[in-house]
Structure 1
Amino acid sequence: MFSHNKRLQYTVRVTETNPGLANLMLEQFGGPQGELAAACRYFTQALGEDDPGRKDMLMDIATEELSHLEVIGTIVAMLNKGAKGRLAEGVETEAELYRAISGAGNDSHVTQVLYGGGPPLVNSAGVPWTAAYIDTIGEPTADLRSNIAAEARAKIVYERLINLTDDPGVKEALGFLMTREIAHQKSFEKALYSIAPNFPPGKTPGDPRFTSVYFNMSQGEGDAVRGPWNSGNRWEVVSERDAQSAVDGGDGSATTQLDEAEAAVVAQMAGRTASVPAGDPMTGAELGMAEDDALTEVDRALQSEGGGADAPGAPRAPRT
């Protein structure tokens, strides 16, 4: 059950309207790193969570993300407020109104003309929000890692938005939202490491022959740079090209077992679709090229007579 408190989680003060900035703010309203995506991600995870502690945490954070959606949506609406009134009431000439919504940049017409200055569930490019932004897989150790990354991406977007405005009230509100991403990331990390063991994700262990092997597949400049990701006692580095294929000890080929009926049908299909390597068959592309790259017998005959449709300067008749 949800109940709504009409007070925002953080006070929003906008100094002046700015439709272009409002449109950029939509990235955190209806974009892939935005607050609605975060709220839906954690809410659906909470519903499927069996651990009471993680379930409560996910529900708390999902609900807070909805309050952040309200804050960022309010910023969008307030940044659009003045332009919304001018456009709705038509108090300026057509040219002035056009300059007001197009001169601000960032496709501010998306929110002005299409949505009347309100905060639509689209990103800053006008792409509608989609549930495809939610990548929950139902395994806590995998989902928590994904949540940590999602909070990190959201923080970066907020940093970029903060750098785009000199409005102190907007900066303060965005700074709060950015800071809460850090707090959520800490909670998710603590929850992840409270599961022991938490790596690798899931229950089935990896094949020990390959879990600590680093294949040096991209060779050339940069190979000399080594770090904990590919050096030390925990890694076996394989750089030899021949040793990078058929690592299971086989011959690296692909085979399948067919019964007699399947084998007969496959052989029949292979015979019917077999290539004929001998010869050089004429293709449709080559026939089409004749108009520009080769002369037909009619062309040659006309040229030998010194005139006709293909004489210099004469229009060329269409061929059928």
Structure 2
Amino acid sequence: MWIYDKKLQFPVNIKNPNPAMAKYIISQYGGPDGELGASLRYLSQRYSMPFKQCIGILNDVGTEEIGHFEMIATIVHQLTRNLTIDEIKESGFGDYFVDHTTGIYTVSAAGIPFDATCFASKGDAITDLMEDMAADAALL
């Protein structure tokens, strides 16, 4: 179905850990407006779309969002690798670290785990497309 290049579309090469920044960026991974919700939104909505061209677009956008999901995970991983206990405490990363150490987990910046209520798939083409536009506008 897909060909996976096994490399990021845009390479990520963060040299200095920054767990404070990771706390915010993790929300783009599994927060309410993150890449997981975006990919599931498009890939779920495609099945009730009555127009073949739109089905293809929703599938393409959904798979593109999965690529973004991978880039965000890489960013968070690089920002949190090789942390010292002092860096964890000083950055406020301790609450996340207690539950996940430096594992990548679908969570918002506030620490709320990903929930499928972060996206909609109503089965009505207009409603779903309005949801998509509203979700993408939230990032602008």
Q: Which residue of 2 aligns with 1:25?
A: 25
Partner deviation per Cα, 1:208-238 (whole Å, 9 max, x = no partner): xxxxxxxxxxxxxxxxxxxxxxxxxxxxxxx
2:82 partner letter: G
Calculate the TM-score normalised by the size of structure 2. 0.92
Question: What's the offset of the Cα at 1:71?
Answer: 0.2
Q: Is the contact made by 1:111 and 1:119 (CA closer than 8 Å) also made in structure 2? A: no
Q: Which residue of 2 aligns with 1:132?
A: 117
Q: Which residue of 2 aligns with 1:149?
A: 134
Q: Which residue of 1 aligns with 2:63?
A: 63
Match status 1:9 vs 2:15: no
Q: Is the contact made by 1:45 and 1:136 (CA closer than 8 Å) also made in structure 2? A: yes
CA distance in 2, matches of 1:35, 1:153: 12
2:70 partner letter: E
Q: Which residue of 2 aligns with 1:52?
A: 52
- Figure out how many residues of one structure are paired with residues of the other and give that number: 140
Partner deviation per Cα, 1:94-135 (whole Å, 9 max, x = no partner): xxx2x3212113xx1243232121210111111110111112
Question: What's the offset of the Cα at 1:4?
Answer: 2.9
Q: Is the contact made by 2:106 and 2:114 (CA closer than 8 Å) also made in structure 1? A: yes
Q: Which residue of 2 aligns with 1:264?
A: none
Question: What's the offset of the Cα at 1:50?
Answer: 2.4
Runs of 4+ in 1 over 4 A off after TM superposition: none
SS at match of 2:132: helix
Question: 5 Å matches for 1:1-320?
Answer: 1-83=1-83, 86=84, 97=85, 99-105=86-92, 108-155=93-140
Question: What's the offset of the Cα at 1:148?
Answer: 0.8
CA distance in 2, matches of 1:5, 1:47: 26
Q: Is the contact made by 2:41 and 2:119 (CA closer than 8 Å) also made in structure 1? A: yes
1:33 partner letter: D
Question: What's the offset of the Cα at 1:10?
Answer: 0.9
CA distance in 1, matches of 2:96, 2:6: 24
Calculate the TM-score normalised by the size of structure 1. 0.42
Q: Is the contact made by 2:8 and 2:67 (CA closer than 8 Å) also made in structure 1? A: yes
Unaligned runs of 5+ in 1: 87-96, 156-320
Question: What's the offset of the Cα at 1:3?
Answer: 4.3
1:150 partner letter: A
Structure with higher RCO (Cα < 8 A, 6+ apart): 2
CA distance in 2, matches of 1:119, 1:110: 14
SS at match of 2:101: coil
SS at match of 2:97: helix
Unaligned runs of 5+ in 2: none
CA distance in 1, matches of 2:4, 2:64: 12
Question: What's the offset of the Cα at 1:137?
Answer: 1.4
Distance 1:120 1:110, change over 3 A: farther
1:37 partner letter: G
2:87 partner letter: A
CA distance in 1, matches of 2:30, 2:61: 18
CA distance in 2, matches of 1:11, 1:29: 17
SS at match of 1:154: coil
CA distance in 1, matches of 2:25, 2:50: 36
